[in-house]
Structure 1
């Protein structure tokens, strides 16, 4: 990868499972030690529960979130994580 940031193989596997097998409703990815890893994932398919999960994680400064909105395409949502995440969404 050009940026020097490696994607952990588990990220690709879990994303594909989410996309094809519908194993979860969302995945939060973070960068740790120059590698993209999974921070957490959840079964919920509601945006409200995803936002509540994000708000609980005060230790995360920045993350990528993939959310399956239940449509034919998975919605990609990228947030800069901070305490006032609800202001970004609302």
Structure 2
């Protein structure tokens, strides 16, 4: 499956061509996590794809909001203990 995905990524800037779609956000985040956990070796085409996705302003805003929610959840849990 990864070979098929990586082959598609290497064909163009995004999975379905020149424009990003929701599938790119899904795979960009999934591949970022997989790479963080060492589930596949670094690959220049995939690394560039992950960078294209994760450097998008909407992606950055979403990660910032996720961090705020995670911080709030941690604060609530520490108050409960």
TM-score range, shorter chain: under 0.3
TM-score normalised by L of structure 1: 0.23
TM-score normalised by L of structure 2: 0.24
- Larger strand share, 1 or 2: 1
- Larger helix share, 1 or 2: 2
Rg comparison, structure with higher value = 2
